[in-house]
Amino acid sequence: MIDDIVASVVRQWQAVHPGLDTGPMELIGRINRCAALLQQAEDAPLRAAGLTRAEFDLLGAMRRTGRELTPGDLARETFSSGAAVTKRLRALQEAGLIARRSDARDRRVVHVGLTDEGRELVDRLLPEQLAYERSVLSGLDEGGRGELSGRLGELLVQLEGRLGGRL
In sequence order, the 6+-apart residues with CB closer than 8 A to the CB of 10 are 22, 25, 26, 29
Single-letter code of the amino acid located at 51: L
| CA 46 centroid distance within chain | 13
Taking the CB of residue 161, how many other CB atoms lie within 10 A of it? 9
Residue-level pLDDT at 40: 74
Element of type H or E holding 112: strand 110-114
* pLDDT tens digits in sequence order for the chain, 167 residues long: 688 999 999 999 999 999 999 999 999 999 999 998 888 777 788 989 999 999 999 999 999 999 999 999 999 999 899 999 999 999 999 999 999 998 888 888 899 999 999 999 999 999 999 998 888 899 999 999 999 999 999 999 998 887 765 55
Residue-level pLDDT at 52: 92
Element of type H or E holding 163: helix 142-163
Residue-level pLDDT at 164: 65
**By the 8 A CB rule, do 128 and 45 touch?**
yes
